[in-house]
Every structure is written in structure tokens, then in C-alpha cells.
Amino acid sequence: MRSDQAQSIFRSAEWDLLSLSSQRHSVLYASCCGPEKYVDITYYFGLRRKTLFFTCNLIIPCFLISILTTFVFYLSDHKITFSISILVTLTVFFLVLIDLMPPTSLVIPMFGRYLITTMILVALSTVVSVVTVNFRFRSGSAHKMSPWIRAVFLNFLP
């Protein structure tokens, strides 16, 4: 490839063009088509993915949001609101990932599996936060202790 041809190629934010070559083939099919040769051109591309694009735009923000999930249990007042906000943010990241990846029904990308697993864990932490807040603000006069909990915690465990 000549240098003037290399300048006319569109620059991509996701890929580096390492090499570009072409080969011209001409084949004579005498049995069916007469004396004419049929010409085809085969192009060979050498590409390398720029990993910084996905690292900065998807992986690092998603990892930081996943770390924020651990802080849900340290908050005192707004546990559930914070947890649901993280879940919505992960859903938006999953939608962005779907737009960036080529559509296929055969394989879920590894990063997609990570996002789904993280979303499941955040949903479980939301449920645990709801249960924790429920137990925290429950008064003894409004709710009676069930007999099996009374037997386990007052008779069996001590």
C-alpha cells in the first residue's frame, strides 16, 4: 500500500489498520463461458483493536459502579435508593453494550455476562437492604416473634 493511499483511509476510534494488501486473480472457465477471463480481487486486512476505547468507556466505569454496591450496606438512611440507582445505571451500561457489540444469538460476550452477574448481585443486595431496613424499623409491640424463631434464638442457641 502506498503512503498516499494510507492517508485516504478513514481512521477509526476502535481499530488500528496494520496492513492492507490485495491480489488480483483472473480465471478462465473454458468449459462454460468461452474465451473470457473472470477477474476477482481479494483484499487482506490486518487489524488490531484499540483496547483503551473499551477500557475507558465501559470496563472502568462498570467496575467502579460495582464497587459502589459494597457501600450500600454502610449507608444508614438511603440504602434502597442508592441500590436501585446502581441497578438502573448497570441497566443503562448493558444497553450501551448491546449497541456496541455485533448482534448474535449464539454467544453472550464475557463482559455482558459480567454485567448480568453484577446486576443479579445488585438486585440481591437491594432485597437484603429491604429486609435489613424492615428489621431495623420494626417495633416489638407491632410484630410478634414467630414460634420457630423464638425456639431457635431463645431456647436452642443460647
Radius of gyration of the chain (CA): 30
Q: What is the pLDDT of residue 137?
A: 77
Q: Are residues 59 and 125 in the same domain?
A: yes
Q: Are residues 106 and 125 in the same domain?
A: yes
The residue range of the domain holding 114 is: 51-130
Is 100 within 8 Å of 135 (Cβ atoms)? no
Query: How many domains are contained in the chain?
Result: 2
Tell me the per-residue pLDDT of 46-58, one tens digit each, with 9 for 90 and over. 888 888 877 887 7
| H-helix or E-strand spanning residue 88 | helix 79-100
User: Does residue 103 belong to any structural domain of this protein?
Assistant: yes
User: Does residue 139 belong to any structural domain of this protein?
Assistant: no
User: Does residue 7 belong to any structural domain of this protein?
Assistant: yes
Q: Are residues 25 and 93 in the same domain?
A: no
Q: Are residues 63 and 25 in the same domain?
A: no
Q: Are residues 36 and 91 in the same domain?
A: no
Q: Are residues 27 and 57 in the same domain?
A: no
User: Does residue 156 belong to any structural domain of this protein?
Assistant: no
Tell me the per-residue pLDDT of 61-93, one tens digit each, with 9 for 90 and over. 888 888 888 888 788 778 888 889 999 988 888
User: What does the pLDDT profile of the chain (158 residues) look like in tens digits?
Assistant: 555 555 667 777 778 888 888 899 888 776 776 677 888 889 888 888 888 877 887 788 888 888 888 888 788 778 888 889 999 988 888 888 778 777 777 887 788 888 889 889 889 988 888 888 887 777 766 677 788 888 888 888 86
